[in-house]
Amino acid sequence: MPIVIAIDGPSASGKSTNARLIAKTLGYTYVDTGAMFRAFAWSCLKRGVDVHSPAAVVAALRDWNATLECVDGQVRLLVDGYFPEKEIRTAETSAAASSIAAVTEVRAWMKEAQRSCVKFGDLVMEGRDIGTHIFPETPIKFYLDASAEERSQRREAEGVNDDLAARDKRDSTRAVAPLTVAVGAIVINNAGETPQQTSERMLVEIRRLLAERK
Ligand code: DC
């Protein structure tokens, strides 16, 4: 069974940067599950689906053409064979992603797709519910965090206009698979650290846990 490193945390907590660094160092496949929710949200917006209507969202889910591929050690979700890399990063898509992510059927679809990623080998998977719901059985789980102020500053520095507070509230209070610290997760507050420092701290823990597995 491939190894899965689960990384969860709120928006701008450094999940993507650190997950990428760790995947590269270990030679594992990187999976950005937020990008998968964003791709579905983008597809809904493109088709004029009301993302605030669960019934409309479920109907769109039954009728979308999505495929997974792995390119350069990174999993991508294609919509009608197209990877909407830039389109999924707009403020509109961010807000829509958080809405469609609260729909039970969407989460069930994503869970199946995300678990199937082990076909691409050992994984570093980041999101909101990886350690709690997608791979609860993995012994290697992290929860990254930093203060709301610092996280907002990071997004501003990236030039991204994103209502983090609203999104975090929705992501942690929804009924299905809300963002919470998984049992057994190592909590890392990376305030004031560089990604190199945080990923080094994480790699120390990962190597220790991998050695224990043997
Ligand atoms: O990580 P991100 O900001 O790209 O995620 C976009 C939205 O998708 C986020 O607001 C909540 C949702 N999401 C989720 O509910 N579960 C995940 N595993 C990943 C993302």
pLDDT of residue 199: 98
Instruction: Find residue 68's DSSP bridge partners.
Output: 77
CATH of 1-28+123-214, one of 1.20.1260.10, 3.40.50.300, 3.40.225.10, 3.40.640.10: 3.40.50.300
Is-contact 93 167, C-beta < 8 A?
A: no
pLDDT tens profile 56-80 = 999 999 999 999 999 999 999 999 9
pLDDT of residue 99: 96
Helices (H), 7-157: 15-26, 33-46, 54-62, 91-100, 104-115, 148-157
Domains 1-28+123-214 and 32-121 share a fold: yes
Is residue 167 predicted with pLDDT exceeding 90?
Answer: no
Nearest CA to ligand 1 atom 2: 34
The verdict on the CB of residue 37 being under 6 Å from ligand 1 is: yes
Q: Is the pTM of this model over 0.75?
A: yes
Q: Where are the domains of the chain?
A: 1-28+123-214, 32-121
Pocket test for ligand 1, best of 171, 174, 179 (most atoms within 8 A of CB): 171
pLDDT of residue 159: 83
Q: What is the mean pLDDT of residues 44-51?
A: 98
Separation in Å, CA 29 to CA 72, 73, 111, 118, 119: 8, 5, 17, 9, 10
CB-based contacts of 154-157 (< 8 A; 24+ apart in sequence): 154/12, 154/14, 155/11, 155/12
User: What is the Cα–Cα distance from 8 to 13, expressed in whole angstroms?
Assistant: 9
Q: What's the CATH number for 32-121?
A: 3.40.50.300
Nearest CA to ligand 1 atom 16: 128
Nearest residue to 141 via CA among 208, 186, 207: 186
pLDDT of residue 112: 98
User: What is the Cα–Cα distance from 167 to 29, expressed in whole angstroms?
Assistant: 27
Other beta carbons within 10 angstroms of residue 92's beta carbon come to: 12
Is-contact 143 185, C-beta < 8 A?
A: yes
User: What is the Cα–Cα distance from 191 to 131, expressed in whole angstroms?
Assistant: 22
Residue-by-residue DSSP string for 9-32: -STTSSHHHHHHHHHHHHTPEEEE
Pocket test for ligand 1, best of 109, 128, 141 (most atoms within 8 A of CB): 128
Residue 63 makes CB contacts below 8 A (sequence gap 6+) with none
The verdict on the CB of residue 76 being under 6 Å from ligand 1 is: no
Is-contact 146 14, C-beta < 8 A?
A: yes
